[in-house]
Structure 1
Amino acid sequence: MFAWLFLWLVLGIWLIVGAFVYAAWKRRRHPARHQRWWVLGISTGIVGYCHTLAYGFVLTRPAEICGQRTLDDDYPLTHVRVDAFPPRLACYWTDSSTYGPSHPTAAGTWLLWGGAALLVAGTVAWAMALNSRTPRWARAGTVLAPAAAATIWATGVAPLMSLSTVDLRNECFRWQVTHLHSAPAGEITKTQRSVLPPAVDCIFTDGTTSLIGIETLGLSCCLTVFLICCAALRLLKTSTSL
């Protein structure tokens, strides 16, 4: 408990010191808008990653970190889930079905996502500010589409890809219970995973369902937008050079 409070205090100090350093750098250098966002994004990401590592995310056993929930070492853990990217530690308790799991590294994860968003925003601003006759929407799309695809992959696809066979079967069972009226009613026979095309399928005795159907649609839309933007940039560049 004291370690948890100490790490939150250190995080607050990092953020305050970083804010003063950023303000001094901004006043002295007068950087462009995209440069400010790049610096903020990189700094925020570093702080978030260091805060996650400070929990012993890599160096200690996750069960010990989750055990800090109580002081008497009586913590009814059912299982612990560790995601490499984005780095996240989830502690599942006996009452997690009602109240949800706890996330000791949540602050670091949110800072990492905030830093990534600032980096993308800075890159979009830089692309749109270029001295070019190509449309701004095409330049912005070539940045936003891959960023959106990476977000979908990191949040929806990669966590399921990294699960063990037993955990994935449990995930299929939880999906079946959640979608009781629309899911296949048979037992789970096996699971299938593939990267290209991305697929995480639960095969039941009377049907097959995909756990990443919405994510696959989102990845397809991102790819379509990216190709359209690249084609627009190519065509307009060719027409201006003639």
Structure 2
Amino acid sequence: MFAWLFLWLVLGIWLIVGAFAYVVWKRRRQPARHRRWWVLGMCTGAVGYVHTLAYGFALTRPTEVCGQRTFDDDFPLSYVRVDMFPPRLACYWTDSAAYGPSHPTAAGTWLLWCAAALLVAGTVSRAITLSSRTPRWARAGTVLAPAVAAAIWATGIAPLMRLSAVDLHNECFRWQVAHLHSAPSGEIVHTERGFLPPAVDCVFTDGTASLIRVETLGLSCCLSVFLICCAALRLLKAPMPL
């Protein structure tokens, strides 16, 4: 318990010191807007990653971090899940089915996502301010579309791809219960996974359901936007025929 409070205290000190250093740097150097966002993104990412490591990724004892939740063993720990990207430590208890798992590294994970958003914003700002006759929306789209696709993959597809066969089977069962009126009502036969195109399917005795249908649609939209922006950059950059 004291270690948990100490890490939150250290995180607060890091953020205050970093904010002070950023304000001093901005007043002295007067950097461009995209450089400000880049520096903010890199510093925020460093703080978030170090904070996440402090919770057990590098200490190789995540069960001890999760064990700080209770002392009377009212809700025994079921298992621990460690994800490297985005870095996350999830503690699954016997009551997690109703209330969800606990995430001791939530603060560091959110800081890392904020850092990624700041870096993308700085890159988009730089692309827009470039001296070019190509439209700004096309330049911004070539950066935003891959960034959104990466976020969709990291949050919605990659976690399912890393699951074991048993965990994926349980995930299919939870999906079936959550979509009781629209999901197939038969028993789960097996699961199927694929990378190109991405697919995570639950095969039932009376049908097949995809767990990443929305994510696949999002990836398709990102690819379409990226191709349209690249085509616009190519066509509008070409010299006009005489």
What's the TM-score bracket when you normalise by the shorter of the two chains? over 0.9
TM superposition shift of 1:72: 4.7
RMSD (CA atoms): 1.4
Q: 1:141-164 deviations in whole A, cap 9, x for unaligned?
A: 000000000000000000000011
| TM-score w.r.t. length of structure 2 | 0.96
- State the identity %: 80
The amino acid across from 2:125 in the alignment is: A
Task: Quote the residue 2:61 is aligned against.
Answer: 61
| Residue 27 (1) aligns with residue 27 (2) | yes
**Distance of 2:129 and 2:137 partners within structure 1:** 12
Distance in 1 between residues matched to 2:146 and 2:12, nearest whole Å: 32
| SS of aligned partner of 1:55 | helix
Shift of 1:81: 2.0
Matches of 1:105 and 1:241, distance apart in 2: 58
Question: Aligned partners of 1:58, 1:2: CA distance in 2, in Å?
Answer: 20
Say if 2:106 is the partner of 1:82.
no
Please name the residue that 1:215 is paired with: 215
Tell me which residue corresponds to 1:184: 184
Amino acid at match of 2:143: V
Q: What does residue 193 of structure 1 align with?
A: 193
Q: How far apart are residue 93 of structure 1 and its match?
A: 1.6
Question: What stretches of structure 1 of length at least 5 have no aligned partner?
Answer: none
User: How many residue pairs end up in the alignment?
Assistant: 242
DSSP-derived class of the 1:180 partner: coil
Question: What SS does the aligned partner of 1:102 have?
Answer: coil
Shift of 1:71: 3.5
Structure 1 residue 205 displacement after superposition: 1.1
**Is 1:17 paired with 2:21?**
no
- Pairing of 1:152-191 with structure 2 (within 5 A): 152-191=152-191
4+ residue segments displaced more than 6 Å: none
Amino acid at match of 1:163: L
What is the SS of the residue equivalent to 2:82? strand
Instruction: Write out per-residue CA displacement over residues 9-33 of structure 1, whole angstroms, 9 at most, x where no aligned residue.
Output: 1101100110111111111111000
In the alignment, what sits opposite 1:112?
A: 112
The CA distance in 2 between the partners of 1:157 and 1:163, in whole Å, is 10
What does the per-residue CA deviation read over 1:162-216, in whole Å, with 9 as the maximum and x for residues that have no partner? 0111111110111111111111111111111111000001111111110000000
